[in-house]
Structure formats: structure tokens, C-alpha cells
Amino acid sequence: MKPHRYSLYRAFGCAMRGITTAVKTERNMKIHIAAALIVFIAAAMLQLDRVRWLFLLVAVAMVFVAELMNTAVEAVVDLISPEEHVLARVAKDTAAGAALVAAVFAVVIGIIVFYEPVWDWLQHRLIT
């Protein structure tokens, strides 16, 4: 039996449907998007340099990827094991843990990236 091959267009459509589903159904995904928008607005207002923007973009993307993978793992586990099972719980908790690690990493990156520009902005505002 030959594997079914999707057209590139259809593959992108499936990926977009997955992202849309996660955004619509997952509370944490909505929180991550809101946080990312706040971070990007602050970065624009502070006129951060390209390197700082790059770190922010990588951190945000990592959180989104981890949250999407967590959503996928939860869906598959719920499909395969609708009743409570120790291994199902381990899979779901581990996937959630990965998303948490990514989010904490993003916060640390945000602190490192924003510390100096925010400090400089505050000093400028307090002195003048």
C-alpha cells in the first residue's frame, strides 16, 4: 500500500487548521498569544535591536511549538485511552511539563532582553 501524499497546499491547510484549533480551544494558547503581543509591542516601543528581537522571536516560537505539541499529545492520549490510565497521565503531564519549561525559558529570556532597555528608559524618564 502506497503512503497517501498530500499536496503542499493541503499540508499547509492542515497545519493552519491545527494551529487554529489550538488557538480556539486551548486557554494557554490564548494566554501565550496575548503575552507575545504585549512583548512585541513593548519591543517595538523600546526600539530593540535585531539581536534582541531574534531572541524574543525564538522564545515565543518555542513556547508556541511546545503548546501545540502538548495539545497534540493530549488529543492522541484522549483518543487512545479515554479512561484514566497511569501511562496516559504520564504522557499528558510530561507534555504539559515541556510547555511549562518553554514558557519559563521565555520569561527568563524576556527578563534578560528587556532588563537593560527598560532600565535605561526608566532612568531617562526619572532624570528628565
Set 67, 74, 83, 84: catalytic member: 67
Handedness of CA 26, 23, 111, 38 (dihedral sign): negative
Handedness of CA 35, 41, 43, 45 (dihedral sign): negative
Contacts of 51 (CB under 8 A, 6+ apart): none
* Residue 83 bears catalytic tag: no
> So which residues are the catalytic ones?
67
